[in-house]
């Protein structure tokens, strides 16, 4: 009920903002719908806003809070149905393909050809940015979800080294719990539960199992013993969050690690933006490492901006926005602040901190070795219906409605029905 009300409020807000906006039709400026509302995300968004405003292009901001973008997509559907699509919209993976198939997106082929996108945007992103040979969105970055963020002094004070295996991690959680520190900062929202599940499932299933279960949707892999192990590990995570986890926003969970109230957060690398925004330094104040047992894999999601067809060709402002997004200097400046890594393969890592450098190296290595997989939680493994079916089971299990065995059975059934 609460999230329904939130959604209704978001839609009302969206419609009222649009009604009062002089640039909502795309002429003279851009109206940008996105879910970058935390401190770190807003700082990154400002890099893009400033870039456009320096070119004389007015920016109308249309923020809709909610990681994973579910609420933003609800607002977007209402806007499109009302015949009033925003100029540019943050989108993820299969959602982009869906909007392109509905004929809602402007064709960016001219911009892409002029800027040589085919040569510099990696295949993993092109599969979501190009539909039937047409460029339909501009990739901003590459995030990945199988990261852990840790408070360094909390770990040092408790004699905890960076865990290499699931067993090491489970032991570290016990140590922190015994010391009276919340082991894991978590926000109980379905997309956050699912973000944790990306990494936990990868650790339990391994890359082949992850591919079979979540990319190929093979019922045997979905119903395997390894999947039960994944849910058993989720139950261990659940036992190590604080009592107030329910409904907490992800950035407030990050703040718990920053403040030393909690040891770890399992979250995508947008969490790094919060540490940086708080003036923290990687390696000194906080640590970043791949979730134990997934050191060779990357579960990724890429933010892209879809340019909604405003009736005719891509507008000059949309083309300028797309060009700005893919410029090498913007790719470095933005991603340094956002916590993600560039969507181009030819950007230097010189300006990135240690976590960013590792992110870039891990991404290149995983792409090379075949260990780069779309994130289930962030819409890069499946279309929305399957993603939501997985969310439901993961969250019900996390909240104790199902034991692990039941969760496995429910997962097989839910995925089958959702296809």
Residue 399: CB minimum distance to ligand BGC, A: 21
Contact between 69 and ligand BGC by CB under 6 A: the answer reads yes
Tell me how far, at minimum, the Cβ of 164 lies from ligand BGC, in Å. 27
Q: Whose Cβ is closer to ligand BGC: residue 36's or residue 286's?
A: 36
Q: In angstroms, give the least distance from the CB of 35 to ligand BGC.
A: 5
Residue 334 binds to ligand BGC (criterion: CB under 6 A): no
User: Is the CB of 254 or the CB of 371 nearer to ligand BGC?
Assistant: 254
Structure tokens at 395: 């969250």
* Cβ proximity to ligand BGC, 344 vs 378, nearer residue: 378
User: CA–CA separation, 188 vs 194, rounded Å?
Assistant: 10
The CB-of-290 to ligand BGC minimum distance in angstroms stands at: 18
Closest C-alpha to 253, from 240, 300, 233, 177: 240
* Residues numbered 82-121 forming contacts with ligand BGC, rule: CB under 6 A: 92
User: Residues 26, 29, 63, 68: which binds ligand BGC (CB under 6 A)?
Assistant: 68
The answer to whether 303 contacts ligand BGC (rule: CB under 6 A) is: yes
Q: DSSP string spanning 342-366?
A: ESSTT--STTS-HHHHHHHHHHHHH
Does residue number 301 form part of the binding site for ligand BGC (CB under 6 A)? yes
Q: Are 259 and 242 in contact (CB under 8 A)?
A: no
Q: Which of 29, 32, 33, 35 binds ligand BGC (CB under 6 A)?
A: 35
Taking CB under 6 A as the criterion, the residue among 79, 130, 143, 344 binding ligand BGC is 143
CA distances from 145 to 68, 195, 268, 376 (A): 11, 6, 4, 10
Ramachandran assignment for 187, one of left (phi > 0), alpha (psi -120 to 50 degrees), beta (any other): beta
- Are the C-beta atoms of 184 and 275 separated by less than 8 Å? no
List 94, 99, 270, 305, residue binding ligand BGC (CB under 6 A):
270
Assess 41 for contact with ligand BGC (CB under 6 A): yes
Stretch that binds ligand BGC, among 61-69, 252-260, 347-355, 357-365 (CB under 6 A): 61-69
- How far CA 406 is from CA of 223, 370, 412, in Å, comes to 10, 32, 10
Site for ligand BGC (CB under 6 A): which residue of 26, 29, 63, 67? 67
Tell me: does residue 378 bind ligand BGC (CB under 6 A).
yes
Q: Of 166 and 191, which CB lies nearer to ligand BGC in the complex structure?
A: 191
Point out which residues pair with 374 in neighbouring strands: 300
Q: Which helix (H) or strand (E) holds 104?
A: none
CB 379 within 8 A of CB 95: yes
- Pick 197 or 270: Cβ nearer ligand BGC: 270
Residues 145-184 that bind ligand BGC (CB under 6 A): none
Ramachandran class of 283: left when φ > 0, alpha when ψ lies in -120 to 50, beta otherwise = left
Q: Which secondary structure element, helix H or strand E, spans residue 164, and what is its range? A: none
- Asked whether position 305 contacts ligand BGC by CB under 6 A, the answer is no
- Count of residues touching ligand BGC (by CB under 6 A): 11
Nearer to ligand BGC, 335 or 371 (CB): 335
Give me 135's structure tokens: 């460029």
Asked if 269 touches ligand BGC (CB under 6 A), the answer is no
Q: Cβ-count burial of 184 within 10 angstroms (0-12 exposed, 13-18 middle, 19+ buried)?
A: buried
CB of residue 165 vs ligand BGC: minimum separation in angstroms?
28
DSSP-derived secondary structure for 213-270 = IIIS--HHHHTSHHHHHHHHHHHHHHTTB-TT-BT--HHHHHHHHHTTSEEEEE--TT
Which residue's CB is nearer to ligand BGC, number 250 or number 402?
A: 250
Taking alpha carbons only, the member of 247, 250, 293 closest to residue 273 is 250
Piece of the chain touching ligand BGC by CB under 6 A; list 67-75, 109-117, 131-139, 405-413: 67-75
| Residue 352 interacts with ligand BGC (CB under 6 A): yes or no | no
Q: Which stretch binds ligand BGC (CB under 6 A): 64-72, 99-107, 173-181, 252-260?
A: 64-72
Beta carbon nearer to ligand BGC, 41 or 410: 41
Report residue 41: phi and psi, to 5°. Answer: -65, -40
| The two three-digit tokens of residue 227, written as one number | 């999947």
CB nearer ligand BGC, residue 35 or residue 128: 35
Contacting residues toward ligand BGC, per CB under 6 A: 35, 41, 67-69, 92, 143, 270, 301, 303, 378
């Amino acid at each position: 009920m609460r999230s329904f009300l939130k959604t209704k409020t978001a839609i009302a807000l969206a419609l009222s903002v649009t009604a009062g906006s002089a640039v909502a039709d795309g002429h003279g400026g851009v109206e940008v719908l996105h879910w970058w509302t935390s401190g770190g995300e807003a700082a990154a968004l400002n890099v893009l806003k400033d870039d456009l405003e320096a070119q004389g292009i007015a920016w109308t901001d249309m923020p809709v809070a909610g990681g994973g973008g579910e609420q933003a997509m609800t607002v977007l559907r209402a806007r499109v149905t009302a015949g009033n699509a925003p100029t540019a919209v943050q989108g993820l993976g299969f959602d982009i393909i869906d909007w392109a198939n509905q004929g809602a997106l402007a064709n960016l082929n001219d911009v892409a050809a002029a800027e040589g996108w085919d040569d510099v945007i990696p295949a993993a992103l092109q599969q979501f940015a190009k539909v039937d040979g047409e460029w339909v969105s501009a990739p901003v970055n590459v995030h990945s979800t199988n990261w852990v963020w840790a408070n360094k002094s909390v770990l040092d004070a408790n004699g905890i080294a960076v865990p290499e295996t699931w067993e090491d991690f489970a032991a570290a959680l016990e140590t922190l719990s015994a010391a009276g520190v919340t082991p894991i900062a978590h926000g109980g929202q379905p997309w956050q539960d699912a973000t944790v599940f990306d990494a936990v499932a990868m650790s339990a299933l391994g890359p082949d199992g992850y591919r079979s279960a979540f990319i190929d949707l093979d019922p045997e892999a979905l119903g395997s013993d390894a999947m039960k192990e994944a849910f058993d590990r989720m139950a261990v995570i659940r036992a190590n969050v604080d009592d107030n986890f329910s409904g907490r926003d992800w950035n407030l969970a990050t703040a718990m690690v920053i403040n030393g109230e909690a040891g770890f957060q399992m979250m995508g690398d947008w969490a790094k933006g919060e540490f940086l925004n708080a003036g923290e330094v990687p390696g000194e104040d906080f640590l970043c490492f791949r979730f134990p047992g997934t050191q060779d894999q990357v579960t990724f999601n890429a933010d892209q901006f879809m340019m909604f067809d405003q009736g005719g060709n891509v507008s000059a402002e949309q083309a300028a926005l797309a060009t700005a997004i893919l410029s090498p200097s913007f790719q470095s400046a933005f991603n340094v602040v956002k916590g993600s890594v560039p969507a181009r393969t030819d950007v230097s890592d010189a300006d990135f901190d240690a976590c960013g450098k590792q992110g870039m190296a891990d991404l290149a290595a995983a792409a090379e070795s075949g260990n780069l997989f779309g994130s289930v939680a962030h819409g890069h493994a499946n279309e929305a219906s399957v993603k939501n079916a997985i969310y439901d089971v993961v969250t019900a299990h996390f909240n104790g409605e199902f034991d692990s065995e039941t969760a496995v059975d429910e997962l097989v059934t839910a995925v089958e029905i959702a296809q």
